[in-house]
Amino acid sequence: MSLPETGKIIELFYSTTDGRVNTTELALDDKGVIEDKYYNKDIQRSVLIASLESYKLAADSGIDAPYSALGENVLIDYNPYHLKPGARFAVGDVVLEISQNCTLCKSLAKVDARLPKLLKDDRGVFAKVISSGVIHKGDNIYLLD
């Protein structure tokens, strides 16, 4: 039995000491995004997943925020913000488990002073890696039971 598709990966990013990198694939293991500067820092916050919905909220408020401005590793076309910690996504061989909602960050104010308040509950979700592997831009996302 196959799972119904929940959404797709729109963009992928990782952070370096020199800034944000847009990529077509991310390698993940139980310590997080392998090339990311936050790799192995906090397992519960290994991967930041944001929805296109966050960027739509910003745009609807007249805020021009380019993709990756929210600090996400994975940008998807599905809104996961209603999901509770413990919910799991499958992307190829990778399984990600939501660990917590994303907390506000002062760096959002660098994009626009209104952004932290606007996205208070809609910035993204943190996930930890349950099954390692590589995810690609355009991959389907499946919400597991």
**Does any domain span residue 92?**
yes
The enclosing domain of 57 has a CATH number of: 2.40.33.20
Q: What is the pLDDT of residues 10-39, one digit of tens each?
A: 999 999 999 999 999 999 999 999 999 999
C-alpha of 108 from chain center? 15
Q: What is the pLDDT of residues 81-140, one digit of tens each?
A: 889 999 999 998 999 999 998 877 778 888 999 999 899 888 899 999 999 999 999 999
DSSP per residue over 17-34, as a string? TTEEEEESEEEEETTEET
CA distances from 12 to 32, 35, 75, 86, 120 (A): 14, 12, 6, 22, 22
Structural domains in the chain (count): 1
**Does any domain span residue 99?**
yes
The HSE-up count of residue 60 (CA atoms within 13 Å, CB side) is 8
**Does any domain span residue 2?**
no
pTM of the model: 0.94
Q: Identify the domain containing residue 69 by its residue range.
A: 7-144
